[in-house]
A and B are shown apart, each in its own frame.
Chain A
Amino acid sequence: MHLLLVFITHARKLSSYRRIKMIVRSILYIILVAVFASPSFAADLESRLNSLEETLKKQEQTIQELKALQNTLKTQEQTISEQRKLIEELKAEVRKSQPSVTLSAPEAKEPETSDQIQQQVKELSDKVDEVVEAQKKEIPSVFNPSIGLVGETVFSYRSKGSAQTGSDRPGGFDAFQRSVELNLAASVDPFAKGYAVINASADPGTGESTANVEEAAVQTTSLPWNLELKAGRFFGEFGRLSYIHDHELPFVNRPLALNQYIGGESRTDGAQLNYLLPISHYVSLTVGAGNQFGGDIPPNNVGDFRQGSGLNYWGRASTYFDLTPDISLEPGISGLWNPKTTDLGGGLLQPDGSTFTERERRLLGTDFVLSYRPLRNNQFQTVTWGTEVLYSDNRYDVTLPDGTLSKRAVGSYGLYSYLAYKFHRQWTTGLLFDWVENALNKSDKTTAYSPYITWALSHWSQLRLQYTYTDHNSVSGLLPDHAVYLQWAWIIGSHSHGWQQR
């Protein structure tokens, strides 16, 4: 009632539109105040708020669920992406394994039917079975070692006969099958490897080939402390080239000093221990003992009982320096000692009628290799200068022509030096200089000069042309001569690039 009176009072005072507008607004205010002021509305509002709050909570929960779903989707998308990437890579692999010839679009095959696919699967299965069966076959050679065969023929012309040159080959024209070398190598077990080199060269006199075991040795591969032991018949480590086979030498013939003092290749029956110093600089030490040293020298003391003094003892130390990335120096020293050379080939008759019988063998050597080997084109260009100097200080029992016995020590020197220039992957030219004093008589000197050129047709075949002028002095009684050699060396089967032949 009170509200109605207020309304009437105000209505009388206002007569215009403005008044009516104001009245309407006032009514609305009154209604609102009345409604909100009532207790029922308050209760209704509370329940609505609760409901609203509940709705909000549900919505929050839904949002959380959606967020979780979104994360799951992201993970799935990532997985799909990775899988797609993998499929692409696999497709690329498959493409690679397929033949390079591809069908153009008009020639593309129709999609295959399931029968065709089944047929292909069957064919593939049969093929797999065949392969499996093939694996079951017995292969007798499956445990065979690596096998390689080296052949080496030397054609030559020498201006003087063998009586005038001291050679075991005839003068004039000659063809010599110097090497027919069978190389075998394999691991013995996890701790050692074994190898053998069997050579069957022709006898210069009879022409008959006789198989000769040049090397047959076992070598450890897993000794501790950087040690390596070799035992059997092998080329002992002395100097730079004495343990290199003939066909692997940088020139046709073994240097005169090595023939004179070592006796050809450094073959021995014995054992050798190598030690690599465990430091950051390369230092290799080798010691060995054997009952022979030198391919042309027979075993000494082959009689009833051999004492330790009857063995040959040798040692070598070598190191290496990178002077620049392209230039290197590899020096070494070697020694050989046989304290008692009893029965070593008997006495050697000298031109003056005296007889020398070797009683003690002493040999020292020093060597170096200076190399220019540009890293970028080391297969096409290298320069190598190698030199080895030997000093022999053997002791002899001497029987003079009048029967007088005496002892004599003969100190003699010998050296070889070579310069090799590789100017193409296939071509190398070089010059070998030889100078040696006779180990029995140092007045007996020999000098030789050998220019040569090598044509390596491939890794497995090479031709070498060499001219050698040999100049003996008057003491030797031998005559100077000119010689031309043409060497052809080849290899079939397995071959390895050995450490010693580097």
Chain B
Amino acid sequence: MKSRPLSLLIITLIGLLNLWATPAQAAKIRVVTTLTDLADFTRAVGGDLVEVRSLATGVEDTHGIPMKPSFVPIMNQADLLVLVGFDCEHAFLPALLEASKNPRIQKGTSGYVDCSRGIVPRDVPKSTEHSAGDVHPYGNPHYMLDPVLAKTAIKNIYNALVAFAPEHQAEFTRNRDAYLAKLDARIAEWERQARPLKGVKFVSYHEHWPYFAERFAMDYFGTIELKPGIDPTARHIEELVASMRAEHVPIVVREPQFPEKVPSQIAKQTGATLITLPIMPGGVPNTETYIKMMDYIIQTMVTAAQGRK
């Protein structure tokens, strides 16, 4: 019987603490994004009405954001969770979602904003056998590196914001249209700048670039990784070098979160140019926004391709 008042006291304290911690009316829509490009888009569409936090800072691997407990309160308080989808975040997001104890952003709710909705995926595996590596069962998730497909992500973010706060639809629409106009202008410019890239072969460390290669008519020759998530073996490197020499592949792309040693060695052996390209804003200096990042990628790629001619 003694324990009953104690239990009641604890329950009352928990209730009061939660009431105290829950703002009566949130001033801004609290959005948490997994990656920095999504944060950039959300800020562009949401403007002053949103408070955006990204789990990634930009320098991480998209599949390897550390599961920091400091993310848990951020996710616990969030109104919306914006993610890439196609299982891109499988290594860290499910556990963080469970730890967040936030029913508003769980999978299947309107607060779970999967930006892959409406994207036709590439490279959907016929089998999810692990013998094929750490494959993504729904297809390659790196569509954000195609700026035209990135517009679909923006549309999904816009829809989610409007659904959450329909009273601000006019402002969201204005912001979205302004950003899309800016992005469209840049896309036209990138397509013009990227004309020398047509048909140029390149390899990268991880399978980040199929959508990019498709958009800018490049020839994505292969990856340094043996298979997704599997480090290269000596034999794989040997075969890759031989085929690159035979096919005169001029560019080796290294994503900054991967070590430089092997890409550098391959570039040296094949005579290819080694370049380091970010896979999300903030991956390398002066790429804080999506547009700046794409500017950097196109310019670096074009410079490398032209340097080889």
- Chain A residues with CB under 8 Å of B214's CB are 95-96
Alpha-carbon separation in the docked complex, A96 to B123 (Å): 11
- Does B96 touch A at the CB level, under 8 Å? yes
Q: How far, in whole Å, are A282 and B68 apart by their CA atoms in the complex?
A: 10
A278 in contact with B17 (CB, 8 Å): yes
Q: Complex formed: what's the CA distance from A95 to B214 in Å?
A: 9
Q: Is the CB of A276 within 8 A of B101?
A: yes
**Number of inter-chain CB pairs below 8 Å:** 110
Q: State which of B55-63, B159-167, B267-275, B286-294 sits at the interface with chain A.
A: B55-63
Whether A502 lies near B64 (C-beta < 8 A) is no
A379 within 8 A of B: yes
List chain B residues, Cβ under 8 A from A244: none
Query: Is A320 in contact with B103, judged by CB distance below 8 angstroms?
Result: no
Among B59, B101, B106, B148: residue with most chain A CB under 10 A = B101
By the criterion CB–CB under 8 Å, are A379 and B94 in contact? no
Contact partner, A276, options B57, B76, B96, B122, Cβ 8 Å: B76
Asked if B257 and A89 make an inter-chain contact with CB atoms under 8 angstroms apart, the answer reads no
Tell me the residues in window 8-62 of chain B with beta carbons closer than 8 Å to chain A beta carbons.
14-15, 17-18, 21-22, 57, 59-61
Closest A residue to B256 using CB positions = A376
Q: In the complex, how many angstroms separate the beta carbon of A325 from the nearest chain B beta carbon?
A: 7
Given A276-B76, A278-B22, do A496 and B59 touch, yes or no (CB 8 Å)?
Answer: no
Docked-complex contact A222 and B67, CB < 8 angstroms: no
B70 CB–A CB distance under 8 Å: yes
Distance A228 CA – B99 CA, assembled complex (angstroms): 9
Is A92 part of the contact surface with B, judged by Cβ < 8 Å?
Answer: yes
Give chain B residues whose Cβ lies under 8 Å from the Cβ of A502. 67, 95
CA distance A308 to B3 in the complex (A): 11
Q: Is the CB of A221 within 8 A of B130?
A: no
B120 located at the interface, meaning its Cβ lies under 8 Å from any Cβ of chain A in the complex: yes
Q: Determine whether the beta carbon of B259 is less than 8 Å from that of A377.
A: yes
The answer to whether B72 touches A282, judged by C-beta atoms less than 8 angstroms apart, is: yes
Is B178 engaged at the interface, CB distance under 8 Å to the other chain? no
Contacts of B125 in A (CB 8 A): none
Of the candidates A97, A228, A375, the one whose C-beta lies within 8 Å of that of B57 is A375
Q: Are B17 and A379 in contact (CB under 8 A)?
A: no
Name B51-104 residues within 8 Å CB distance of A.
57, 59-61, 64, 66-70, 72-74, 76-77, 90-92, 94-96, 98-101, 103
* In-complex Cβ contact of A330 among B3, B61, B69 (8 A): B69
A277 within 8 A of B: yes
Residues of chain A within 8 A (CB-CB) of B57 are: 325, 375
Q: Do B106 and A379 have beta carbons less than 8 Å apart?
A: no
Residues of A368-390 at the interface with B, using a CB-CB cut-off of 8 Å, are 373, 375-380
Report yes or no: A320 in contact with B95, Cβ–Cβ below 8 A: no
Contact A225 B259 (CB under 8 A): no
Q: Which of chain A's residues have a CB closer than 8 A to the CB of B60?
A: 375-376, 378
User: Which of A275, A279, A328 sits near B21, CB closer than 8 Å?
Assistant: A279
| B59 pairs with A375, CB closer than 8 A | yes
Q: Does B230 contact A (CB under 8 A)?
A: yes
B148, A89: Cβ atoms closer than 8 Å:
yes
A322 at the interface (CB under 8 A from B): yes
| CB-based contact A459/B134 at 8 Å | yes
- A492: CB under 8 A from chain B? yes
B64–A378 CB distance below 8 A: yes
CA distance A93 to B211 in the complex (A): 11
Report, as a range, how many residues of chain A touch the other chain.
Answer: 35 or more
Residues of A near B99 (CB, < 8 A) are 276, 499
> In the complex the two chains form, what is the Cα distance from A89 to B95 in whole Å?
37
- What's the least CB distance linking A141 to chain B, in Å? 15
Using Cβ atoms and an 8 Å threshold, which residues of chain B touch A325?
57
Q: Are B67 and A499 in contact (CB under 8 A)?
A: yes
A227: which B residues are within 8 A, CB to CB? 14, 101
Residues of B within 8 A of A373 (CB): 66
- Structural contact, A458 and B130, CB atoms closer than 8 A: yes
Min CB distance A230 to B, Å, is: 12
Taking a contact as CB atoms under 8 Å apart, the answer to whether A492 and B120 are in contact is: no
- B91 / chain A contacts, CB cutoff of 8 Å: 497
Contact of B148 among A92, A277, A459 (CB under 8 A): A92
Question: Is A50 part of the contact surface with B, judged by Cβ < 8 Å?
Answer: no
Tell whether A460 is near chain B: CB-to-CB under 8 Å: yes
* Cβ of A187 to closest chain B Cβ, rounded Å: 10
Chain B facing A: main interface SS: loop
Contact, CB under 8 Å: A496 / B130: no
Question: Which of B3, B21, B99 counts the most A-chain CB atoms under 10 A from its CB?
Answer: B99
A417 at the binding interface (Cβ < 8 Å)? no
- Chain A positions 220 through 234: 1 when the CB is less than 8 Å from some CB of chain B, otherwise 0: 011111111000000
Which residues of B sit under 8 angstroms from A95, Cβ to Cβ? 214
A226 to B20, CA, bound (A): 13
Task: Decide if A140 is an interface residue (CB 8 Å cutoff).
Answer: no
* A492-B130, A496-B94 as given contacts; A320 in contact with B66, CB under 8 Å: no
Once the chains are docked, how many angstroms separate the CA of A279 from the CA of B22?
9
**Interface presence of B238 (CB below 8 A):** no
A96 touches B59 (CB 8 A): no
A153 on the interface (CB 8 Å rule)? Answer: no
Nearest chain B CB to A277's CB is how many angstroms away?
7
Contacts of A322 in B (CB 8 A): 68, 70
A228 contact set on B, CB distance < 8 A: 101
B231 contacts partner chain A, Cβ-Cβ < 8 Å: yes
Interchain nearest-CB distance for A95 vs B (Å): 8
* Interface pair B68/A328, CB less than 8 Å apart: yes
Question: Who on chain A is nearest to B99 by CB?
Answer: A499
Residue among B17, B77, B92 with the highest chain A CB neighbour number at 10 A? B17
Task: Provide the residues of chain A in CB contact with B98, threshold 8 Å.
Answer: 221, 499
**Closest residue of B by beta carbon distance from A191:** B103
Contact between B70 and A497 (Cβ–Cβ < 8 Å)? Answer: no
Report chain B residues within 8 Å CB of A459.
Answer: 130, 134, 229
Give every chain B residue within 8 A of A280 (Cβ-Cβ): 73-74, 77
Interface membership of A426, Cβ < 8 A: yes
Kindly list chain A residues whose C-beta atoms are within 8 Å of the C-beta of B18.
224-226, 278
Answer whether residue A498 sits at the interface, using C-beta atoms and an 8 A cutoff. Answer: yes
Mask: chain A, 303-337; 1 = CB below 8 Å from B; 0 = not: 00000100000000001101001001010000000
Tell me the nearest residue of chain A to B230, going by C-beta: A458
Bits for B156-198, please: 1 = Cβ < 8 Å to A, else 0.
Answer: 0000000000000000000000000000000000000000000
A104 to chain B, nearest CB (A): 13
Task: Compute how far the CA of A377 lies from the CA of B283 in the bound complex, rounded to whole angstroms.
Answer: 12
A281 within 8 A of B: yes
- How far is B21's CA from A275's CA once the two chains are assembled, in angstroms? 14
Which one of B61, B122, B130 contacts A379 once the chains associate, using CB atoms below 8 Å? Answer: B61
What are 19 A-B contacts with C-beta separation under 8 Å?
A221-B103, A225-B18, A226-B18, A226-B76, A275-B14, A278-B21, A278-B22, A284-B69, A320-B69, A322-B68, A328-B68, A375-B57, A375-B59, A375-B66, A377-B258, A377-B259, A378-B64, A498-B95, A499-B99
Known contacts A322-B68, A499-B98, A502-B95; 20 additional CB pairs below 8 A are: A92-B148, A96-B120, A96-B122, A223-B101, A224-B18, A225-B14, A225-B18, A228-B101, A278-B17, A278-B77, A279-B21, A280-B77, A281-B73, A282-B70, A308-B3, A328-B68, A378-B64, A458-B133, A492-B130, A499-B96
Q: Which residues of B contact A (CB under 8 A)?
A: 3, 14-15, 17-18, 21-22, 57, 59-61, 64, 66-70, 72-74, 76-77, 90-92, 94-96, 98-101, 103, 106, 120, 122, 130, 133-134, 148, 214, 229-231, 256-259
